[in-house]
Chains A and B, each alone.
Chain A
Amino acid sequence: DQQVKQNSPSLSVQEGRISILNCDYTNSMFDYFLWYKKYPAEGPTFLISISSIKDKNEDGRFTVFLNKSAKHLSLHIVPSQPGDSAVYFCAASARGSQGNLIFGKGTKLSVKP
Chain B
Amino acid sequence: AQTVTQSQPEMSVQEAETVTLSCTYDTSESNYYLFWYKQPPSRQMILVIRQEAYKQQNATENRFSVNFQKAAKSFSLKISDSQLGDTAMYFCAFMKHVTGANSKLTFGKGITLSVRP
Bound together: no
Interface residues, chain A, CB within 8 Å of chain B? none
